[in-house]
């Protein structure tokens, strides 16, 4: 006869996986980014996110009433902060390092998730992401490229009228176009070519 103590010992101990508060929210946001980067915007569902986060869909809907609400917060939370541009002593070297950092962000899990949203969601859904894209992508990249150009002007490398928002848009626009339309993965040589064939002639001081 097995004692009740022995039987209790023989049974595997049950460990609760129930999570609450910030721990659960972190799991849901991580699951949303993973789903976006693998199945895309159109394939993402609140039920799929809940399953990946090992929680019930009610827990997701309590925090985020819609798919758009969830994705906006997941992207905002996951996008890397771009705080300071490189300062390597020359505008070319700074542009190269900045482009490499942007490439790393574009091909991160959050970058893949953002590209899925930009490529797949319809016009009405895209409006929900406009503020996020402005505040977390466009404004930081404009500020960083602007600082690199202004340092180049101060060093006498760059023409004085190059400090212009249109100039700052050139590399991000090219990177997005070639990634989306041309399926470029932005090898080091491509970054160098964009800087040497496009940006440096655009920024260069007039000869003579």
Each residue of 11-47: pLDDT tens digit?
444 333 566 789 999 999 999 999 998 999 999 999 9
Q: What is the pLDDT of residue 17?
A: 53
Number of C-beta neighbours around residue 152 at 10 A: 22
Residue 161 CA to residue 205 CA, distance in Å, equals 10
Locate all alpha helices (DSSP H) within the chain, ordered by sequence.
Answer: 4-10, 21-43, 46-52, 57-63, 67-78, 91-106, 109-120, 123-133, 139-154, 165-180, 188-194, 200-203
158 forms beta bridges with 204
Domains along the chain? 18-67 (1.10.10.60), 91-203 (no CATH)
Find the range with the poorest average confidence among 64-68, 119-123, 191-195: 119-123
The whole-chain average pLDDT of the chain stands at 86
Question: What percent of the chain has pLDDT above 90?
Answer: 59
Residue 199 CA to residue 181 CA, distance in Å, equals 21
Residue 6's pLDDT band (cuts 50, 70, 90): very low
Q: What angle do CA 123, 125, 131 make, to 5 degrees?
A: 100
1 or 128, which is more confident:
128
Tokens representing 46 are 């609140």
125 or 119, which is more confident:
119
Q: What is the pLDDT of residue 178?
A: 86
Rg of the chain, C-alpha, whole Å: 24
Query: How many Å separate Cα 63 from the centre of its chain?
Result: 22
Q: What is the pLDDT of residue 208?
A: 52
Q: What angle do CA 76, 169, 108 make, to 5 degrees?
A: 40
Residue 206's pLDDT band (cuts 50, 70, 90): confident
Residue 134's pLDDT band (cuts 50, 70, 90): confident
Query: How many Å separate Cα 180 from the centre of its chain?
Result: 15
State whether the Cα torsion 67-68-73-77 is positive or negative: positive
Q: Give the pLDDT confidence of 136-180 residue by residue, as tens digits.
A: 888 999 999 999 999 999 999 999 999 999 999 999 999 888 887
7 has a pLDDT exceeding 50: no
Tokens representing 130 are 């406009």
pTM of model > 0.85: no
204 forms beta bridges with 158
Find the range with the poorest average confidence among 6-10, 51-55, 130-134: 6-10
Q: What is the pLDDT of residue 125?
A: 73
Mean pLDDT of 175-195: 89
Phi, psi dihedrals of residue 55, rounded to the nearest 5°: -140, 180
Is there a contact between 60 and 53 (Cβ–Cβ < 8 Å)?
yes
């Amino acid at each position: 006869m097995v004692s009740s103590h022995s039987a209790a010992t023989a049974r595997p101990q049950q460990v609760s996986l129930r999570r609450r508060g910030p721990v659960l929210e972190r799991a849901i946001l991580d699951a949303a980014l993973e789903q976006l980067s693998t199945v895309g915007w159109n394939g993402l569902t609140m039920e799929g996110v809940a399953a990946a986060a090992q929680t019930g869909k009610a827990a997701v809907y309590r925090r985020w009433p819609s798919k758009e609400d969830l994705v906006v917060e997941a992207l905002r939370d996951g996008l890397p902060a771009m705080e300071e541009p490189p300062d390597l002593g020359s505008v070319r070297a700074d542009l190269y390092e900045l482009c490499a950092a942007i490439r790393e962000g574009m091909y991160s899990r959050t970058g893949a998730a953002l590209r899925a949203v930009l490529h797949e969601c319809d016009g009405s859904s895209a409006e929900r992401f406009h503020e996020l894209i402005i505040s977390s992508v466009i404004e930081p990249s404009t500020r960083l490229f602007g600082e690199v150009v202004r340092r180049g002007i101060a060093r006498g490398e760059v023409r004085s009228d190059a400090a212009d928002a249109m100039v700052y848009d050139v590399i991000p626009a090219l990177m997005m176009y070639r990634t989306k339309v041309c399926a470029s993965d932005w090898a080091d040589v491509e970054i160098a070519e964009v800087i040497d064939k496009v940006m440096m002639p655009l920024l260069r001081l007039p000869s003579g």
